[in-house]
Chain A
Amino acid sequence: MAMLFRVAGRHYGLLSSKQVSSPIMSKLVPMASVKALTTKPPKTIQEVAQGEMLDFWKKNETLKRPISPHLTIWRSQLPMTLSFFHRFTGVAMICATYVFSWVMLASPVDYQWYITFLKDLHIDGYAVGPSFLFLAKFIIALPFCYHCINGVRHLAWDLGKGFDLPTLYRTGYFVSVLSILVALYLASLSFKAPE
């Protein structure tokens, strides 16, 4: 296998035409190199590879071969799920910011009205307001906390740390638990207007 690569490497560009001049040297150099002097330069290995890739796509599209199932059959695992949520929370936060801004622009009342409405909400005589507000705050805080803390994990990867599988799982569990706890704490904070 290694020999094959050596030969391929030799053919594709290591040849030096200058050595072929002496009759002794020409006996040592393989015949193919002498022919290469007179014909056009051989394709680079990249061109060969790219040609093969194009042939691959053309052939498979012509034959209309099916593509094997992927998302539908894949068993989710923790690192993959966490990576998905990192992207999902990032996109969700951006969308929420946009939607909130547009709703507020279109709304006839200011956001204080909505907060007071939620706070004083009663269903069947029960004051569900405070719990609703807590839930709303938790739902807003969780994506932010998760994305931030997992972001630290991403930065560690950029430094080359934490790539082995046990560390990946340990940091993964740690990040998920920590983000839930921090989100719960943030949601429980209540703003007290200064006296």
Chain B
Amino acid sequence: MASSRSLMKSLHQNYALIPFIQARFCQTAAAPALHPKLKKFSIYRYDPDKPNKKPALQEYEVDLNDCGPMVLDALIKIKNEQDPTLTFRRSCREGICGSCSMNINGANTLACICKIDEGSKATKIYPLPHMYVIKDLVPDMNNFYAQYRFIEPYLKKKDENEAEIGTKPYFQSPEDRAKLDGLYECILCACCSTSCPSYWWNSDKYLGPAVLMQAYRWMVDSRDDFQHERLEKMRGAYAAYKCHTIMNCTRVCPKGLNPGWAIGEIKRMLQGYGEYKAEQAV
């Protein structure tokens, strides 16, 4: 009894020793000397504090063995370890906020869900195409947001009493709700609009696929009463008809949505709308 108790006591005193021994030996045994898997990244750089210096590509090398699988992981690693001046937007790191949209290897995507291509060619990273660059990979998105505000992306009801708002729900059948699927999931990352050559040449007047898809989303929402007014905004040569069905938008959407189809639906709604309006006026 005494001997077992003293044995327990000695083990208890040395209780840290056994795990320590295990850990120490495991440490040296388990770490294989991995050959660094280096990957080159060519990243667009522009410094607004040196406006006369032309924007240029800068190359960085990252050991992929020590890096997460996505391009955003590499960018953060570069910023942490090699160049703290590298500037880019990021937030959720899971493809839902839309902050890290940029052009990777020639196509617009979200950096946080774009897997690093482990081939030998350098990965080229540019900001969203044909946008004013604030710094490095950060474009000025204010025009895009103003265009979104222009289409009034909120529920509008006619003949509504100010005091009644919020007192009762606006009912919607499952069929009507299904019409919003594939439209409401837009995260406004601007990958589609900045992939559209028509938007490149006419971003002042053409609204772009992202905004047009949201305009369509509010047009087909059965709870909204202003469908005609929303459609009226689409008439004219520029708002919707500058879309020439190039379909780059659908190709790059990181959420798998189809803005090109939505614009096609707007155009179909506009077919014959002129005559309908003329008949209504008479």
Contact = CB atoms under 8 A, between A and B. Distances in A.
Interface of A: 2, 5-6, 8-10, 14-16, 19, 25, 28-29, 33, 45-46, 48-50, 52-53, 55-57, 60, 63-71, 73-75, 77, 79-80, 83, 87, 154, 157-160, 163-165, 168
B162 A8 contact: no
21 contacts: A14-B162, A16-B161, A29-B162, A45-B149, A46-B150, A49-B146, A53-B147, A56-B143, A57-B143, A63-B48, A63-B51, A65-B48, A67-B133, A68-B127, A68-B130, A75-B107, A87-B244, A157-B264, A158-B267, A164-B258, A164-B261
10 nearest A-B residue pairs (beta carbon): A75-B106, A5-B154, A163-B261, A52-B146, A49-B150, A70-B129, A79-B247, A65-B132, A70-B130, A49-B149
Contacts of B245: 83, 154, 157
Contacts of A49: 146-147, 149-150
A80 B156 CA distance: 37
A6 B154 contact: yes
A160 B271 CA distance: 12
Contact of B251 (A68, A77, A159): A77
| Interface of A, helix, strand, loop or mixed by DSSP | helix
A68 B126 contact: yes
Given A68-B128, A70-B200, A163 B264 contact: yes
Interface string B218-250: 000000000000000000000000001111101
Contacts of B160: 14
Interface of B: 44, 46, 48, 51, 54-55, 103, 105-107, 124, 126-134, 139-140, 142-143, 145-147, 149-150, 152-157, 160-163, 165, 195, 197, 200, 204, 244-248, 250-251, 258, 260-261, 264-265, 267-268
B154 A66 contact: no
A66 B55 contact: yes
Contacts of A71: 197
Given A45-B149, A168-B247, A65 B133 contact: yes
B160 to A, nearest CB: 6
> Of B129, B132, B248, which is in contact with the most chain A CB atoms at under 10 Å from its CB?
B132
Nearest to A8: B154
Given A60-B140, A65-B134, A160-B261, 18 more contacts: A2-B154, A5-B153, A5-B155, A8-B154, A14-B156, A19-B163, A50-B146, A52-B146, A52-B149, A53-B143, A56-B140, A60-B132, A64-B51, A68-B128, A68-B139, A73-B126, A157-B264, A168-B247
A69 B161 contact: no
B126 A33 contact: no
B265 A160 contact: yes
A111 B278 CA distance: 52
A122 B246 CA distance: 45
Residue of B129, B147, B195 with highest tally of chain A CB at under 10 A: B129
B163 A25 contact: yes
Given A60-B132, A68-B126, A68-B127, A33 B258 contact: no
B124 A73 contact: yes
A63 B161 CA distance: 46
A14 B146 CA distance: 21
Contacts of B267: 158
Contacts of A158: 264, 267-268
A157 B52 CA distance: 46
Contacts of A64: 51
A80 B246 CA distance: 5
A160 B269 CA distance: 11
A65 B48 CA distance: 8
A133 B267 CA distance: 44
A67 B248 contact: no
